[in-house]
Amino acid sequence: MVNEMTPKIEKLFRSPYSVPNGLQVTDEGVWVVDQITDRVALVELTQSSDYGVTKLIRDVPTESSNTSGLSYGEDALWLAANGSGKMWRQIRSTDANEGDVLKVDPQTGKTLQRYNIPDGGGTHGLEYDNYESGYLWVETLKNKALHKVRISDWSVQNTIPLPYDRAHGVVRVKDGIWVVHTSDRLIVKLNVEDGGKLDEIHVSDEYPEPHGLSLSGDGLLYCDATSGWIVKITF
């Protein structure tokens, strides 16, 4: 039976970018990626100032494109390039054709490695697995699935189906994996073996729409690409 949770939801601050479409909490602060410019920012994880913003620590350009997901692991940023950026800007020679995963230096934005999306097509989310080092979870839009990929040889080790359309942010936790389903305003915890639903959070219309997702202490943090808000979920 699925547990329908009713946690506390509160707006924290607005992103330094207009279209934040992925985020990741680290010991340094919160990394946020912009879907239009594909730049990544590191900001302080604090309550907002009177202007609704927080302190910018670092701003880094990348070679990603139409970026729709961000994670952190192996001392690097992982970016989900969901095709080219032609919808937002002039096409760059480094833009993805369909979809790529980029491993990026967080200091310089240099691309350290580029990988194809499993089964081709685009992606809206990814997550470095901090419980099984050396693995990355990658969503694929083409087959509405979540793949566990071994990074060393970029091979798919497991695939679980996703329960709803338009999957987005992903967060691995000890007892499962959280996945955002933006259009349904749902954040669903799934069994990592078979994709069975364990828990479910409904984000009502009074709050910003969930897109990217990150673990933050005992709760979650999400970003809304339409309003720019960073939002905290406390269990």
Q: What is the count of structural domains for the chain?
A: 1
Report the side by side order of strands in the sheet with 20-25: 20-25, 30-34, 40-43, 56-60
233 part of a folded domain:
no
CATH number of the domain where residue 22 is located? 2.130.10.10
Residue 8 has pLDDT above 80, yes or no: yes
Between CA 113 and CA 60 the distance in angstroms is 17
Give the predicted TM-score (pTM) of the model. Answer: 0.96
Using one digit for the tens of pLDDT, what is the confidence trace for 38-87? 999 999 998 777 788 899 999 999 999 999 999 999 999 999 999 999 99
70 part of a folded domain:
yes
- Cβ atoms of 23 and 224 closer than 8 Å: no
**Dihedral over alpha carbons 196, 22, 184, 207 (to 10 degrees):** 120
Residue 133 has pLDDT above 80, yes or no: yes
Between CA 13 and CA 228 the distance in angstroms is 8
What are the distances in angstroms from CA 164 to CA 15, 193, 198, 210, 221? 27, 18, 14, 14, 21
Q: Note down the domain range covering 48.
A: 9-171+191-205
In a 3-state reduction of DSSP, which class is residue 88? coil
Residue with tokens 């990814």: 126
184 part of a folded domain:
no
What pLDDT does residue 33 have? 98
- Cβ atoms of 68 and 22 closer than 8 Å: yes
119 part of a folded domain:
yes
Using one digit for the tens of pLDDT, what is the confidence trace for 157-166? 999 999 999 9
> Could you tell me which residues come within 8 angstroms of residue 43 by beta carbon, excluding any fewer than 6 positions away?
13, 15, 16, 29, 30, 32, 54, 55, 56, 57
142 part of a folded domain:
yes
Between CA 214 and CA 170 the distance in angstroms is 7
Q: What is the mean pLDDT of residues 108-112?
A: 98
Which of these, 230, 232, 234, 235, lies nearest to 53 by C-alpha position? Answer: 230
2 part of a folded domain:
no
Residue 99 has pLDDT above 70, yes or no: yes
Report the side by side order of strands in the sheet with 126-128: 126-128, 135-140, 145-150, 155-161
What pLDDT does residue 1 have? 63
Looking at residue 97, what DSSP letter applies? S
185 part of a folded domain:
no
Residue 117 has pLDDT above 90, yes or no: yes
Q: How many CA atoms lie within 13 A of 10 on its CB side?
A: 9
146 part of a folded domain:
yes
